[in-house]
Amino acid sequence: MKKTFRTLVILFVLLAIPALAGLGIMALWNGIVSGVCGFAAITFYQAVGLFLLGQLLSSGFIIPLFMGFGSLHAIRHHHHEDWRDHWHKMSDEDRREFIQRRREMFSFRNRPGNGEDATK
């Protein structure tokens, strides 16, 4: 029962965020862009499509939101103390590798300030 409830909550969130974003995008587009630029009004489904396209093109924020704090399995099945113990038992090399993986996962390529030239 508890697992089913959590699954339903996750499913609701994954459906609610694009739906709410679609409503916002549709209202803004139809209220601003159509009036100012003269473009045609868009439907709810087109707005959700624009939101999902933006998520795909910009690496999104929905999936990293869940992955940023560990995997869903780890969040659901491990206590906070387990994470702290695990971190303290890691070697310095393991910590460096973990931090490097997180930096690569959440950084944009060719961003100024990360040691690379942004013009490449």
Q: What is the pLDDT of residue 52?
A: 86
Q: What is the pLDDT of residue 63?
A: 57
- Within a domain: 34: yes
- Within a domain: 55: yes
Structural domain count of the chain:
1
- Within a domain: 6: yes
Find the domain containing 32 and state its range. Answer: 2-61
- Within a domain: 46: yes
Say yes or no to pLDDT of 112 above 90. Answer: no
Gyration radius of the chain over CA positions = 20
The greatest distance separating any two alpha carbons of the chain, rounded to the nearest whole angstrom, comes to 61
- Are 42 and 26 within 8 A, CB to CB? yes
Q: Sign of the CA dihedral 27, 28, 34, 35?
A: positive
For residue range 50-92, what is the model confidence (pLDDT) as tens digits?
998 888 887 766 656 655 555 555 555 555 556 667 778 888 9
- For residues 25-34, give the mean pLDDT: 93
CA dihedral 54, 57, 102, 62 (to 10 degrees): 30
For residue range 30-50, what is the model confidence (pLDDT) as tens digits?
999 988 988 999 999 999 999
- Within a domain: 16: yes
